[in-house]
Structure 1
Amino acid sequence: MKKYLAIAGLIAVTVIWGGGFVASDMALESLRPFQIMAIRFLLATLLMGAASIRELKGIDFKEIRAGVLMGCALFVGFAFQIVGLQYTTPSKNAFLTALNVVMVPFIAFVILRKKISIKSIAGAVMAILGVGLLSLEKDLSLGVGDALTLVCAVGFAFQIFFTSEFVKKYRVVVLNFIQMLTAVVLSVVSLFLFGETKFQVTSKGWLSVLYLGVISTALCYLLQTASQKYVDETKAAIILSMESVFGTMFSILILHEQVTLRMVCGCIIILAAVLVSNLADAQAEPETEG
């Protein structure tokens, strides 16, 4: 039962992150990339600090180290995604970011020698095909921005991998607080390095970044971390690829993007990938229990 609640939790995360695409688009009208990152992670840090204030009294070095690793991976993911977006198209950026789905099982194999099942690989490949149909246009060439976005995918892949490993050993709220604190420190440093210290934010910008900080970051990463305690990293990555499905849906509903047959096919394939990876696991459960 806990496992299915965890899957539902991860799906809820993808719905909220899907709305985050629209919020980010609105925020970028009056805020620079690292300004958005600094504000969203600051809000998340304050909220997670308040939620974990009692737990922080018993914090130890291992928890801090784990949270810092998660925070560094999270920052790399967001930072290279934003920088890469300045040199490539949003569609390529979204597709290349989603490559973390196929990176996660191989990271687990290299570091932990964890076996990769055929069905997990099939689900990951299907997810990538679906995101490709949703995101890629006719121009499939790769440039500097695409290379930067690939680094972003590696960052998110390690964040998912680290989360799956550390939630089994350490407290969720403490891990998230350290993760967000690390990300905000790195974001503020980058804000100064890139000269984005002048703020001229509109009311729409504040509302958008408030959604990104409170809902899309603090709530979602707490929910993701708690859910990954019961879902392995490969399946979590495949489920989280549904972010592109909900991002497309919100773009259609709110930004009035046109619906195409490719979009519909892409969404169907991603949903099928999630079903393949999780139904295969459900069939295997009775054998392990007996």
Structure 2
Amino acid sequence: MASGGRPLWVYKGMILVAVLFWGLGTVVMKDTVASVPPSYLTGIRFLITGVLVALIFWKNFRRAFTPQALRSGIIFGVLLFAAYWTQTVGLISTTPGKSAFLTSVYVVMVPFLCWPFYKKRPTVFTIAAAALCLAGIGCVSVSGESFALGFGELMTLVCAVFFAMHIMYVNSVPGQLDMMGMTVIQFLTMGVLGLVAGFFTEPLPAAEVLLSGNFLFNLAYLVVFSSAVALIFQNIAVAHLPATTASLLLSLEAVSGAVFSVLLFGEMLTPLLLLGFAIIFAGIVTSEVGPGLWEKISARRQTEAAAVFPTGDELTTDSQEL
């Protein structure tokens, strides 16, 4: 039973629903960006999402009107806009399945980006995970007899860097600030940045496109399910689940994106591409599960050793040998 009074499977189910929404959202974005340029699509999507979430969490939004919260929310928005914009640009020339797996590499990037700031060396599991992800990216990048990362794949990897930077900055924000209120500011910032960038760099989408049934249906899905509902489910579930469990379930977004890409987009999964996806996923799982598992094993060994050697002298010697 979780602390919220509901069984753990309820919160696990919420993450799985969010993962399915995000996986399908990758395919929906691929379809939508074919008719609406990336900046305008990102701007319209997140401006509407920001307004919707602000109405739902109005009290939180009002509490975020302090200099520190406003500054943090805007920085959240700048980093996440860069992540979604590069991901959307990448989707123009890559498949939803590749996009989902390459985006998920951000999980492995976080410890390396934190290293120079927090002076905490990446663990052996993080290094192993990075090596696995590089090998998986290599498999994904092979086309015919040549090896090359296309523009779409490169932009998707850049988007993974921005996602990692966003997570790193969010984790550095003081806990007393209202995270949901700052999230609303983040969405609104993303919306404004998208519209401004679109105004200066992209042709204005035709009115008949923006009013077409296909675009409105896709936009409604991206706003309601892939953004607002998925975000709320994620925030609630992560607050009630062990971090390792939540991270592992969230990493299934890559698998969800690939499955929907095959079913709805018609992506062809060659044996080498499947191998690349499997290796990348193994790297993500290693990065998320390995350190926590090692800590549990080490703690158990110390407990057992303390029971045998109550003075702790032999335990200290044994630990130094390790």
Superposition pairs of residues 54-203 of structure 1, within 5 angstroms? 54-59=59-64, 60-85=66-91, 89-90=94-95, 97-130=103-136, 132-134=138-140, 136-138=142-144, 139-142=146-149, 148-166=155-173, 168-193=175-200, 194-199=202-207, 200-201=209-210, 202-203=212-213
| Runs of 5+ consecutive residues of structure 2 not aligned to the other structure | 304-322
Report the equivalent of 2:39: 34
The normalised TM-score by structure 1 is: 0.79
| Runs of 5+ consecutive residues of structure 1 not aligned to the other structure | none
1:132 deviates by 5.0
Q: Following the alignment from structure 1 to structure 2, what is the Cα–Cα distance between the partners of residues 257 and 128?
A: 22
1:80 deviates by 2.5
**Does residue 207 of structure 1 match 2:212?**
no
Change (3 A) 1:147 1:282: closer
Paired letter, 2:295: A
Moved more, 177-186 or 139-148: 139-148
1:174 deviates by 0.8
**Does residue 45 of structure 1 match 2:50?**
yes
Change (3 A) 1:82 1:55: closer
The percent of aligned pairs where both chains have the same amino acid is 28
1:285 deviates by 4.2
**Does residue 255 of structure 1 match 2:274?**
no
Q: Following the alignment from structure 1 to structure 2, what is the Cα–Cα distance between the partners of residues 285 and 8?
A: 25
Q: Following the alignment from structure 2 to structure 1, what is the Cα–Cα distance between the partners of residues 150 and 294?
A: 43
Q: Is the 8 A contact 1:28 1:205 kept in 2?
A: no
Whose radius of gyration is greater, 1 or 2?
A: 2
Q: Following the alignment from structure 1 to structure 2, what is the Cα–Cα distance between the partners of residues 248 and 113?
A: 36
Report the equivalent of 1:284: 295
Change (3 A) 1:106 1:227: farther
1:116 deviates by 1.8
Deviation string 1:180-199 (CA, Å, 9 cap, x unpaired) is: 01100101101211232533
Q: Following the alignment from structure 1 to structure 2, what is the Cα–Cα distance between the partners of residues 147 and 261?
A: 22
Aligned length: 286
